[in-house]
């Protein structure tokens, strides 16, 4: 009887933890919906960093927190923030060009130029619908995967989960761990200049000096991002004008920004958001990691 009671208590606790974590997801969606009419999305909005709404919120006998790890671009220190992550701050693996993926790999990993190019080519080969190599050497199509000890075919279709990268030639868990915070499959393909980290902006082939100007502009007078005095790019058509009023831009920097704008690569808003809801009850922890769109529709859901 004692063993059965212990089992029942554990099952009850697990179910309660899941419900508490679900409450965190619903809270996040509700907060997100408050910004429905906004023409832009930025790091100082309530969905992005709001401890009052997302940090250790009591629910029954437990509590939930909606949080994520964030690398402070000024201090280089990883911080814990309470809110959601927009997917448009990341590079979309299903949309990005080979050169963009290669630059991102070089920025966030220790791979050399040729190694990064090989991996980027293999990623593009995995998702494209043809059987031709993206580069003469280094990529991978069916012929390479068929020769493995446990053979399989190149997918020749879009990535459905990030972990699918582990099937791609040259990829391993160590590289994926360094990449995963900067890549997505859920964005609209555009990069939100209001929220993208330094690594992603550099991957768009912007010079480091220009990226520093963008992030400094976003930080505002207190030089701290995600605070009330942040400056915000209000529309794509005003990016150059608004940044020029804050920093001197060279003709080359203006040209680089205009190229990204005219190509439709950058925007000032986001459509999809990742929610990490962590529940605690009786010294036990459970979490839900999901991606939702602006209306709260679930695009991805994982429980742990």
pLDDT of residue 206: 97
**Mean pLDDT calculated for residue range 115-143:** 93
Q: What is the mean pLDDT of the chain?
A: 92
pLDDT of residue 5: 61
pLDDT band for position 8 (cuts 50, 70, 90): low
pLDDT of residue 34: 84
pLDDT above 80 for 263: yes
- In 3D, which of 249, 239, 237, 242 has the Cα closest to residue 209? 249
pLDDT of residue 11: 56
Tens of pLDDT, residue by residue over 217-242, are: 999 999 888 889 999 999 999 999 99
Tens of pLDDT, residue by residue over 140-191, are: 999 999 999 999 999 999 999 999 999 999 999 999 999 999 999 999 899 9
Tens of pLDDT, residue by residue over 73-121, are: 667 788 899 999 999 999 999 999 999 999 999 999 989 999 999 999 9
């Amino acid at each position: 009887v004692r063993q059965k009671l212990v089992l029942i208590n554990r099952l009850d606790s697990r179910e309660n933890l899941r419900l508490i974590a679900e409450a965190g997801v619903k809270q996040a969606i509700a907060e997100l919906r408050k910004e429905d009419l906004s023409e832009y999305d930025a790091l100082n909005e309530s969905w992005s960093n709001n401890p009052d709404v997302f940090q250790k919120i009591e629910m029954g006998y437990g509590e939930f927190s909606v949080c994520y790890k964030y690398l402070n671009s000024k201090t280089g220190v990883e911080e814990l923030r309470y809110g959601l992550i927009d997917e448009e701050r990341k590079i979309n693996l299903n949309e990005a060009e080979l050169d963009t993926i290669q630059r991102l790999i070089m920025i966030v990993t220790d791979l050399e130029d040729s190694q990064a190019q090989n991996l980027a080519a293999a990623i593009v080969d995995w998702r494209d619908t043809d059987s031709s190599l993206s580069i003469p050497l280094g990529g991978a199509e069916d012929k390479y995967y068929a020769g493995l000890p446990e053979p399989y075919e190149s997918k020749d279709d879009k990535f459905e989960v990030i972990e699918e990268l582990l099937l791609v030639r040259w990829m391993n868990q160590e590289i994926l761990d360094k990449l995963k915070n900067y890549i997505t499959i859920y964005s609209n393909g555009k990069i939100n200049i209001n929220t993208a980290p330094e690594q992603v902006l550099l991957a768009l082939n912007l010079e480091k000096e220009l990226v520093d100007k963008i992030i400094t502009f976003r930080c505002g007078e207190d030089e701290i991002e995600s605070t009330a005095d942040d400056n915000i790019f209000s529309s794509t058509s005003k990016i150059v004008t608004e940044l020029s009023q804050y920093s001197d831009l060279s003709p080359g920097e203006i040209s680089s920004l205009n190229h990204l704008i005219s190509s439709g690569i950058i925007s000032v808003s986001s459509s999809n958001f990742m929610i990490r809801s962590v529940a605690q009850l009786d010294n036990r922890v459970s979490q839900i990691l999901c991606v939702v769109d602006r209306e709260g529709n679930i695009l991805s859901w994982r429980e742990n």
